[in-house]
A and B are shown apart, each in its own frame.
Chain A
Amino acid sequence: MTEEIQKKMQKELELLSGIQKDYRKAVAQKQQLDSQLNENKAVKEELLLLKKDAEVYKLIGPVLVKQDLEDATQNVIKRMEYISKEIKRADDHIFALENKQEALQENLNKLKIDLNKLKIKA
């Protein structure tokens, strides 16, 4: 009986550590998205501050390509929308992983208590 529970615990622990790894990855991804959004925000503000006839270039590979200010602004806004959507998705993902972690932790605690009971009996 004890061995069975220990085996179960081992399995649960492995699952938990896997989810924790995923969780850390998801959080790191979200942080990256956050910083991208912030950068885009700053760029948008800067573009809006520019005069209408200001020259704007975009770095594509090693060359600077001239861009229309209006186009550039629209592009940045579109990208911000996309990143926001991605952040929402990442948030959901993180939330789901958190729930999974909690459930596993509870299971583990239960198993621990069972194990202790058995030990006391024995």
Chain B
Amino acid sequence: MATVSTAPAPGMHQIDLSKLNLQQLAQLKQRLDQEMTVFQDSLHTLKIAHGKFMESGECVEKITPDTKGKTILVPLTGSMYVPGSISDTDNVMIDIGTGYYAQKDIEGAKDYFKRKVAFVSEQMEKIKTLGSEKSKVHKAICMMIEMKFQAQMQAGKPNAS
């Protein structure tokens, strides 16, 4: 039956869906809907973060000792640039969060972005597995609602006619 697919995850107590009434099922479904939206949103945010870290990593790759002294255009605003030159090709500043910046050498920076990308990917995987579990439960609940609804309709028919 439908309850089979709601394999209990650790820390989650198993509820027999067939014992719940329609209202409870609807409530549960609504809560699951909300949770799934949260997962979708986080996944989206993580994807953006993943992209940003990848991009930053690629930028660091472009800084080599050869680029020393080369002229670049520094963006002051989104649409205004001033010429500048790279004076230090060995060190970069990295925003490590909460307003802190750390100076790292190129190798360290590459390593940092690699680690961050790996971390974000890991989180994404976690959310994906959690999300698919939730959608399984969601499906089971939808099926249950359907079944209960039909049972109710059939039970109500003889009275109505």
Contacts and interface: CB of A to CB of B under 8 A. Distances in A.
Interface residues of A, number: 20
B97 interface: yes
Interface of B: 93, 95-104, 112
A46 B101 CA distance: 10
Contacts of A54: 102-104
Looking at B95, B97, B100, B103, the one whose CB has the most chain A CB atoms below 10 A away is B100
Interface stretch (A4-12, A57-65, A91-99): A57-65
B148 to A, nearest CB: 21
Contact of A55 (B96, B98, B102, B112): B102
A20 interface: no
A57 B101 CA distance: 5
User: What are the 10 A-B residue pairs with the smallest beta carbon separation, nearest first?
Assistant: A55-B103, A59-B99, A57-B101, A46-B96, A43-B97, A39-B97, A43-B98, A56-B102, A43-B96, A39-B98
Contacts of B104: 50, 54
28 contacts: A40-B97, A40-B98, A42-B97, A43-B96, A43-B98, A46-B96, A46-B97, A46-B102, A46-B112, A47-B96, A47-B102, A50-B102, A50-B104, A54-B103, A56-B100, A56-B101, A57-B100, A57-B102, A57-B103, A58-B99, A58-B100, A58-B101, A59-B101, A64-B93, A67-B100, A72-B100, A76-B98, A79-B98
A39 B95 CA distance: 12
Contacts, number: 49
Given A42-B97, A46-B112, 8 more contacts: A43-B96, A50-B104, A55-B102, A56-B101, A57-B102, A57-B103, A58-B100, A59-B99
Interface of A: 36, 39-40, 42-43, 46-47, 50, 54-60, 64, 67, 72, 76, 79
Contacts of B95: 59
A36 B98 CA distance: 8
Contacts of A58: 99-101
A57 B103 CA distance: 8
A120 B97 CA distance: 64
A8 B112 CA distance: 61
Contacts of A50: 102, 104
